[in-house]
Amino acid sequence: MPTACCAWQPWCSREGKITDLVVERPQGLYCPAGDFHIDPWHPVARAVITHAHADHARSGHAHYLAASEARHLLRARLGDIDLQTIAYGERLRIGDATVSLHPAGHVLGSAQVRIERSGRVWVVAGDYKLDEDRTCAPFESIAGDVLVTESTFGLPIYRWRPAGEVFAAINAWWSGNAAAGRSSVLFCYALGKAQRILACVDASIGPIVTHGALESLNDAYRATGVTLPATLRVTAIADKTTLRAALVLAPPSAIGSPWLKRFGDYSDAFASGWMQVRGARRRRALDRGFVLSDHADWPGLSQAIEATGAARVIVTHGYVAVMVRWLRERGLQADAFETEFGDEAEEVAEPS
């Protein structure tokens, strides 16, 4: 951990000169050279936003900077904010720092923040994954001296199967249910996971129904140019037999809600990286758990960290203590930032 001196007073450092391009502040991660925050959790003047999930993109900041592809999503989530967007790779001078955004592969418009000053480069990766996802630009490896990384699935038990296998399993479950005349209710996070599923399942199996909470986000994806199959609102369906062959996407908050009653005898499932562990699957008492995540798995985290060539790594959220110790044992200088990431209401992690 940085000392209190460095954390609260960015102009001060133990060496007596400004070295750290990103420090911890009560409002969030802060870049002293450019006088801006990254995904701050309290209102600030200037916020660089890595992606539109609620624990990273909060309301109340005076000015927002994000990747162009995130524009529609941020508007859908935060309304009429003062938003500036730049293309991936475009360089912007902010104060003494040169800032650019690069694809993080997490969700549509997700970005890693590259900060350069006097030849030193810091990369704040935000949330990211290395697996393929046709709804967003693929993760780009950025060389840097220091990497600020997440560690949501930072345990070696988390190792994803190729996404194609998971979607084949989802398709098989859906068509099996459709043949038996029952709806397939699949719970998934409303932003990112839902659209990735929509884009990757075999839409010829049957109609796709989406919960109201997903609609504005689907629209934002479509408006950004991502092709999604046609989706129906449940209220728009006159012939109830349609529902029996349908794939129904709903956020986890809908579990146990009366909204589900209309589907009668349905099969339910949850798509999340947490489904990797049998206990987590069984605790939810759902029929199926599909292991599908928009975060890097253990090998992915290692690969991403190694690819930056960074000698220093700072871990923000997830299995922080584990990752810090693991990296230190591998000879890297590793520390943690205490953040308020990773507790987005719908992204209920199961912390250690």
Partner 1 sequence: MKRFSQLFIELDTSTSTNAKVDALARYFASAPPEDAAWAAYFLAGGKPRQTVGSRALREFALAGSGLPPWLFEESYQAVGDLAETIALILPPAADESDAGLAEWIVQRLLPLRGQPPAQVVERLHQYANELDTAGRFLLIKLIGGGFRVGVSRLLVTRALALHAGVDPKVVAQRLIGYTDLTARPDASSWQALVAPAGSAADAQVSHGTPYPFFLAFQLAATLDEFATVLGPVRDWHVEWKYDGIRAQLVKRDGRAWLWSRGEELISERFPEIVAAAANLPDGIVLDGEVLVWDPGAGHPAPFARLQTRITRKNVTPKLQSQHPVVFVAYDVLEVGGVDCRQQPQQVRRATLESLLADHGSQITDSELRLSPLVREPDWYALARQRAQSRACGVEGLMLKRVDARYGFGRSKETGAWWKWKIEPMTVDCVLVYAQRGHGRRASLYTDYTFAVWDRAPRDAIEAQAVRDAVAAASTGAMRDLPQLVPFAKAYSGLTDAEIRQVDATIRKTTVEQFGPVRSVVPELVFELGFEGIQRSPRHKSGIAVRFPRILRWRHDKPLHDADTLASLEVLLSASG
Contacting positions for partner 1 (CB under 8 A): 155-159, 276-283, 285-289, 319, 322, 325-326, 329, 350-352
d(CA 108, CA 169): 24
In angstroms, give the least distance from the CB of 155 to partner 1: 5
Which CB sits closer to partner 1, 158 or 167? 158
**In Å, what is the CA distance from 154 to each residue of 21, 91, 157, 160, 324?**
25, 31, 9, 12, 10
Closest distance to partner 1 from the beta carbon of 283 (Å): 5
Instruction: For partner 1, give the closer residue by CB, 153 or 189.
Output: 153
Q: How far is CA 177 from the centre of its chain?
A: 30
Q: Which residues make beta-bridge pairs with 115?
A: 99, 122
Least distance from partner 1 to the Cβ atom of residue 160, Å:
11
Query: Smaller CB distance to partner 1: residue 64 or 326?
Result: 326
Cα distance between residue 234 and residue 262, in whole Å: 9
Q: Which residue has the tokens 């930032």?
A: 337
- Distance in angstroms (rounded) separating the CA atoms of residues 42 and 61: 8
**Which residues pair with residue 30 across a beta bridge?**
23, 37
Nearest approach, Cβ of residue 328 and partner 1 (Å): 11
Residue closer to partner 1, measured from CB, 110 or 183: 183
Closer CB to partner 1, residue 5 or residue 179? 179
Cα(295)–Cα(302) distance, rounded to whole angstroms? 13
Q: Which run of H or E residues covers position 315?
A: strand 312-318
Q: Rounded to the nearest whole angstrom, what is the least distance from the CB of residue 1 to partner 1 in the complex? A: 19
